[in-house]
Amino acid sequence: MEMCKPILEVRDLYVNFYTYAGIVKAIDGVSFTVCEGETFCLVGETGCGKTVTSRAITRLVPEPGRIEKGEVIYYTPYGKINLLELPEEKLREIRGKEIAYIFQDPAAALDPLYTIGYQIAETMVEHKTVSKWKEAFIKAVEVLRSVLMPDPEKRVKAYPHELSGGMKQRSVIGIGLSNQPRIIIADEPTSYLDVTIQAQIMDLLRKLKKERKLTIILITHNMGLVAEMCDRVAVMYAGNIVELGTVEQVFKNPLHPYTKGLLRAVPNPLTKIEKLEAIPGTVPNLIYPPPGCRFHPRCSYTMDICKREKPRLVEVEPGHHVACWLYSR
Amino acid sequence: MAELKRFLIRRLVTFIPTLIGVTLLVFIIANLIPADPARAWAGGEKASPEVIERIREEYHLNDPWYVQYVFLMKKLFTNDIVSPRTHNKIWDDLIFGTSQGVAGAGTKYGRFFITLQLTLFAFLYIVFIGIPLGILSALKKDSLLDSTVRTLALVGVSTPVFWLGYLLIYIFFVRFRVIELAGFPEPTQRITGIMVIDALLLGENDIAIQIINRLALPAFVLGFIGIGVIARITRNSFLETWNADYIEFGKARGLRKSRLMRHALKNALVPIVTVLGLQFGGLLGGAPITETVFGIPGMGRYMVEAIRNFDYPALIGGVLLFALIYMLANLIVDIAYAFIDPRVRY
Amino acid sequence: MTRKGLSKTAGIVIAVIIIIIIAIAAYYATQKPTTTTTTPTVSSPSPTSTPTTTSTPSPTTTTQTTTSPTTTTTSPSPSPTTTSSTPTTTPKPEKAFHKRMIYIINNDPVPRINMLQSGTADAAAIPLENIPDVEGYTMGNYKIVVEKGLLEPSIVYVVLNCNKAPFNNTLVRQALAYAVPYEVIIQTVYEGYLKPLHGIIPYGFLGYTTYNIINYTAIPYEERLNKAKELLQKAGIDPTQYTFEIWYNAGNTQREKIATLLSESWGRLGFKTSTRSLEWPVYLSKVENGEFDVYIIGWAPDYLDPDNYVGPLFYGGTKFKEVNVVEVQSPGDVGKYVKNAVVFDTEKYYVVVGEKGTGASVSVSGKPFIVVSYIVDEDKTKPIENSTGFVDIDPAFYRNTTVDALAIAGRREANPEIREAIYNALFQASNREVPIILLGQYVLVRPYWNWLHGRYYHPTLAERYDLLWEDPGAPTVNTGIKDYVNDPNTYVVATIGWPDTFDPAFNYETFGWAIFHNIGDTLVTYWKEETKEVSPDLAVAWVHNKDSTEWYFVIRGGVKAYDPWHNKVYNITALDMLFTIWRVARLEGDPSWMVTEFIDTNNSKVYTEEEFDQILKNNELIAEYKGQSKVVKSLDELLDFFGYKGKTAGVLYIKLYYPYGPILSILADPFLMVIPAQYLFDNVDQLKGKYEEAMNAAEWGKNPSAWAKYIGKGEQEPTHQYLHKFPVGTGPYYVKEYVEGSHIVLEYNPYYWNTTLWENLYGFKP
């Protein structure tokens, strides 16, 4: 295994949402490290908190959410900074320049009233990647070319509604890459696309990552995608990371009952399964989460301690962590 | 752009049947009322039969209604018909002004342009107070400012125009003599039809200031309701766009707040522009009370008098103008959409 | 409570506090102030400021020093007057002459009240219920006074459809007249400013009488109701069988209240009543066709004669082959003239009306008799069903041959004593028959600042603004109209409406007539408050033939008309006056009936002084003036009789279709102010350059019908359209500028023929 040079480290992140119904404890003490140059995946069901976590990294959590506690350490060539304590202006400089996002729905992410060329140029001008708008528009064409947009000179003047889903997502990726970021956080980048386009986009991402030595944090619920794209994966459930390790480790040797259940529920090209199984029960209400381990109501291996105390992430084998009382005392 | 031109021409062509339809409808309704206007025009109960008969002949009141209508429209078209009430040609009263170039005799600007100027001022209030208030309200949602603005907007919509007028007159005329209630300053020449612009073009700045002073308060009264309405609409529309995904993505891209607001505002514009267009037409119609209270010789008062006295020519002429302005306002709104939102196709 | 909820409540609380503050401010705004208010633009009223001579065009007035009795002023007219600190030749009291007069138009009473209170206006039209708001209001040493008490000739009355049951019964009508709640109406609708009237002729006009009439307000209301019920029983009708509507015209809140009060009161008698409002043109249409039960309306006279009430409002449309009037002393002689008799016991005479013939006998004696005998012309008399209200027949569709005969007789009678008796009889008839129930005549209420002096009242003519003056020390306030200020030399009135037109030939309303009275001259006029006799104006002397069908007017010389639009002056002669009157008839404008009904304009002419002198010599023409009457035989004798010594400018001859005594009061009406004919021919496109041609065609006044080729009819007629915008006149003021619906500015006429009057009154010389 290679040495991990950390580029991003999330420590003990707690995020609450203050709604009229009550306080939603969405993220309940999440910690992980992302290594430079790798593709790190955050996986889990809808509502498990992976999107919120990804947003929390650059303090993009919208009202009524609040980051209660925790640190996000970003390793720059000039030293470490805690993104959660950075003044807003400095943080804004990092967003879109060193850490770039790709959102799920490219149609919604693009402002329908502006051309994509403008939106690309705008991002560059904002971060002073270029000094003049004219330059920015010329560069925008190059950006589009780099994301393999067909006929970029024409497309740069196009409005979002004039492009197909795949082209829109390429534009979003282009926007993300325009300022030469170090980290890309891609939040389910292909959920809204056809399967064939999915493959194209993922190929593109892979290519770009190699060319520019990017670190990618990929958020998805698609296990197949994980198997294809990721180096390391963290499995989230109800606001907690329940298992963390390399793709090989997690897929070949799932430790956490939830992970096992997940893998049984989807076809897994790495092992052979007889039939697909659903995990009994539903995702818990995070306003009144179950005490102790949040998975225990659905777990077949529940023990007394599971109902009382929350398990910590423990390293079971090098690089493979799990948070389950089955593996720790 | 060629498409836009074709669209414009098509829309302008639809004006004609609409105008005919509107005037015909008004004319028929007015005719349905069993009144003989000739008597009222001739001096009421003191009118002599010869005079009444002469008026009847002159205005074709003895002919069937369709003959009357065609006569009216033809004469209106050539500005050849005189209002039996004001004794001026209708378009002179409304558009061209009655002074015929002689200083002191009447006004160089028709009633319509006087009201138009008042309306434009009111419109400026609505745009420059209402929209910023709405944006502020949206940005500081649920704050003190937001609640205050929303409650005041509600008050604004419920306030009777003349009551507000009286109150402001008391403050700004009786207590502190800041405004005037009489007279109507005019520049020495008429160029565009908007008095304050003409005054500025001619370099007559003191007259321009007088005009602004005269209209500042009445325009505020006229626009008061509109300010509240636009503030609410802007707030809601802005909130909707501010919570949109592309704004979140913009934040994720590291765009500064002012840039994000540009995005949000442009997207919020479509409903705002729609309401503004409707407001403009409504302002024209809401002028009579304001004009009466502040003594402004505008079209609102003119039309009320025309209706009272069954002054057919003035009625039809005025209705024609109103309809035209409504349609133009709508057209401008539609064109504005095309410029704001590229998804809109014609 | 959450943070959001807290700020929400706080926001509402703040908004409510703001509203309360506004409400308190509004409350104070409506309070009547008891302390002196000073407006920031008031200039110092101290008389010790030194007069200055400036040649700036701004109309400032400087007050005089205490030593000099003249007012020195700087005016916007060509040459500035010089300062004089020594007493001039006319030692008159301190009076500031009205060099300028401004109407400020505002149709809303609140701004008018504010303008009056702030001194922007010297006088204003204030609704009756707001009079207490302005009365006693002070500014410095001055306060607003409200003149009350004078009776106006305008009346308000209720019309009953005498063609319909139950109103076709006199007793029913009398019952309804008794049951009107006069006191309540006067108090609640008119704030007390209405005086009850019980006959067709108002107080102040010939014929008004209190002798031998039913006084419907002599007994209290409850007793009146009983009396009314008695009358209904006597009439044999059951009120509960009748349902009717009381109409008023939409927008008139006073009449609305009256309708409600009438409905309620008559309801107490048993009638089933309701009220209804109609838009004015609809109103007129229906009532003129007789499609109504009861309606409320008003009337204001056009000229000073009872015939202007009896004719339109009481005369039933009967046409006669003959109407004769004769005075006899003994009752026995009555029967020589009439075969039946209706007798009216008036104060000085018994008036007997009957069909021509013999045989009637009367049982009264002690006073002389006026006997009116008539023969009805059935063929020419229109049936009631085909008649139009106000035109062929009175508004109540009431026809009574006796009344009609009296009306015609009164119209033609020249002898003032007999005329009075006839109109007394008519008053009594209207009082007993009550086809229309008079509610009352208006009491004049005039609020104005007491720095204004010289005010007077005439029933049909407005004031002449040059006969009013102000204290030189009165405050000066900006008007807001250009640079005009309301200084003591400027008379500002805040009022409503707008004159229909500046062309007198087409104007039939009071606003226009008030202006014409100030910018023009008529043949004769009523001087100030005079109502009995006319005074010379444009005409310096006049005579008429024996039966008053031919009148000659000698025109004053040296009268000039000022055209401010081209800065030109025209000399006025008799030809212009003929042209003016002829044009009124020709254009068929709204007031034209007052000319066309009586004057045969195409056979009226202009004579030279020499021709007229001959006419006097060869005819028996009578001059009447100041109570004296004389047959004059020469122009000099005539001028001497009228005490006139100056130049003359021709003689106007007017031919009447039939004798009509009140013709002089019609000629005093401002719509007949003189217009210089050449002004029209110089400026109207269609007539340019044709003056000589037109005058030649009319033989310079001998054949006016030739003018028909040049002047047409109707609102679109070119001279009307021109004069409508560019008024011209010979009077003390001229129209300087106006903006429709906003203001009218009158300025003193430097070419006025009677500036010596100003010199005498104010020491002012233009």
Say what percent of chain B tops pLDDT 70.
98
Q: Is A1 exposed, middle or buried (0-12, 13-18, 19+ CB in 10 A)?
A: exposed
State the DSSP H helix or E strand holding residue C507, giving kind and residue range, or none if neither: none
- Summary count for chain A: helices (H), strands (E): 12, 12
Residue B317 CB neighbours (<10 A): 28
Q: Which helix (H) or strand (E) holds C640?
A: helix C635-642
Q: How far is A277 from chain B (nearest CA, A)?
A: 35
**At C514, which amino acid appears?**
A
State residue B237's pLDDT score: 92
Concatenating the DSSP letter of every residue in C551-577 gives: EEEEEESS-EEEETTTTEEEE--HHHH
Q: How does strand C100-105 pair with strand C490-495?
A: parallel
DSSP state of C33: P
CB B172 within 8 A of CB B220: no
**Most confident of the following: B98-112, B282-296, C52-66, C155-169:** C155-169
Could you give the dihedral angle defined by the CA atoms of residues B30, B35, B37 and B43, in that order, rounded to the nearest 10 degrees?
Answer: -150
Look at residue B37 and tell me whether its pLDDT is greater than 90.
no
Give residue for tokens 């202009």. Answer: C606
Distance separating alpha carbons of residues A33 and A5, to the nearest angstrom: 10
Whether C11 and B151 lie within 8 Å, measured CB to CB: yes
Query: Is C489's pLDDT higher than 70?
Result: yes
| Closest residue in A to B246 (Cα–Cα) | A109
Residue A221, pLDDT score? 85
Q: Tell me the pLDDT tens digit for each residue of B74-92.
A: 888 888 888 888 888 888 8
The alpha carbon of residue C400 and the mean position of all alpha carbons in its chain are separated, in whole angstroms, by 29
> In angstroms, rounded to a whole number, what is the distance separating the alpha carbons of residues C554 and C571?
15
What is the reported pLDDT for C53? 30
User: ipTM for the complex?
Assistant: 0.88
pLDDT at A14 over 60: yes
Interface of A with B in 81-120 (CB under 8 A): 92-97, 100-101, 103, 105, 108-114
Q: Where are the beta strands (DSSP E) in A180-255?
A: 183-187, 215-220, 232-237, 240-246
Are the C-beta atoms of C563 and C570 separated by less than 8 Å? Answer: yes
**Cβ atoms of residues B327 and B337 within 8 Å:** no
Chain B residues with CB-CB distance to C25 below 8 A: 167, 170-171
Interval C266-283: pLDDT, tens? 999 999 999 999 988 788
What's at B9, amino acid-wise? Answer: I
pLDDT level of residue B186 (50, 70, 90 thresholds):
confident
Residue C287 has pLDDT above 60, yes or no: yes
Mutate which of B253, B261, B339, B341 to disrupt the A interface (most A C-beta within 10 Å)? B253
User: Alpha-carbon distance A30 to A45, whole Å?
Assistant: 16
Q: Is C540 helix (H, G, I), strand (E, B) or coil?
A: strand
- CA-based torsion, B48, B53, B59, B62: positive or negative: positive
* DSSP states along A4-36: P-EEEEEEEEEEEEE-SS-EEEEEEEEEEEEET
Rounded Cα distance, C648 and C556, in Å = 5
Whether B296 and B114 have beta carbons less than 8 Å apart is answered as yes
Structure tokens belonging to residue A133: 């708008």
Give the count of Cβ contacts less than 8 A between chain A and B. 74
Give the burial string for C665-688 (b: 16+ CB within 10 Å, else e).
bbbbbbbbbbbbbbbbbbbbeebe
Q: Which two tokens stand for residue C185?
A: 């109406």
- Chain B residues in contact with A109 by the CB 8 A cut-off are 245-246, 248-249
Pairing assessment for the beta strands C194-195 and C436-449 based on DSSP bridges: antiparallel
Which tens digit of pLDDT belongs to each residue from C211-238?
A: 999 999 999 999 999 999 999 999 999 9
Cβ-contact B155, B232 below 8 angstroms: no
The pLDDT score that the predictor gives to residue C41 is 32
- Among C337, C371, C374, which residue's Cα sits nearest to residue C357? C337
B3: pLDDT confidence band, cut at 50, 70 and 90? confident
First to last CA, chain A: 28
d(CA C261, CA C248): 12
- DSSP class of residue A311 equals P
Give the pLDDT confidence score for residue C255 in this predicted structure: 94
Nearest Cα to C495, choosing from C459, C451, C457, C448?
C448
Across chain C, how many H-helices and E-strands are there? 23, 31
Q: What are phi and psi of C155, to 5 degrees?
A: -125, 160
Tell the residue number behind the tokens 């891609």, with chain if given: A186
A111, A161, A171, A177: which to substitute to probe chain B, counting the most B Cβ within 10 Å? Answer: A111
Centre a 10 Å sphere on the Cβ of residue C236 and count the other Cβ atoms it contains. 9
Could you give the CA distance from residue C44 to residue C252 in angstroms, rounded to a whole number? 43
Q: Choose the weakest-confidence range: A4-13, B302-311, C695-704.
A: B302-311
pLDDT band at C25 (very low <50, low <70, confident <90, very high): low
Most A-contacting residue of B141, B249, B340 (CB-CB within 10 A), to test interface: B249
Please give the Cα distance from C374 to B112 (Å, whole number).
60
Return d(Cα B184, Cα B296) in angstroms, integer: 7
Show residues of chain A in contact with B249, CB under 8 Å. 101, 103, 108-110, 172
For β-strands C96-97 and C123-124, DSSP reports them as unpaired
* pLDDT, tens only, C95-140: 899 999 999 999 889 999 999 999 999 999 999 889 998 998 999 8
- HEC letters along B275-305: HHHHHHHHHHHHHHHHHHHHCCCCHHHHHHH
Residue A226: band (very low, low, confident or very high) from pLDDT cuts 50, 70, 90: confident
Partner residue facing B308 (CB), from C280, C725, C741:
C280
- Band (pLDDT 50/70/90 cuts) for residue C439 is very high
Report the SS3 class of residue C262. helix
- Per-residue confidence (pLDDT) for residue A2, from 0 to 100: 58
pLDDT at C160: 95
Q: Is residue A5 pLDDT above 90, yes or no?
A: no
CB-CB contact of C372 with C406 (8 Å): yes
* B250 in reach of chain A (CB within 8 A): yes
Of B245, B259, B342, which has the smallest distance from its Cβ to A126's Cβ?
A: B259
- Tokens describing residue C361: 């006998």
Q: What residues of chain B lie within 8 A of the CB of A123, using their CB?
A: 253-255
Taking residue C30's Cβ as centre, other Cβ atoms within 10 Å add up to: 11
Residue A75 CB neighbour total at 10 angstroms = 18
Task: Give me A78's structure tokens.
Answer: 């000039």
Residue C252 in tokens? 């008139």
Burial of A296 (0-12, 13-18, 19+ CB in 10 A): buried
Token readout for B5 is 């031109």
pLDDT band at residue C84 using 50, 70 and 90 as cut-offs = very low
Cα(C614)–Cα(C618) distance, integer angstroms: 6
Quick one: pLDDT at residue A202?
A: 87
Instruction: Give the contacts of C396 (CB within 8 A, at least 6 positions apart).
Output: C159, C160, C161, C162, C435, C436
B246 to A108: CB separation less than 8 angstroms, yes or no: yes
The single-letter code of the amino acid at A14 is Y
* Model pLDDT for residues B229-258, shown as the tens digit of each residue: 899 899 999 988 988 999 999 999 989 988
- pLDDT digits 0-9 by tens, A229-258: 899 999 999 999 999 999 999 988 889 988
Q: What is the pLDDT of residue C350?
A: 93
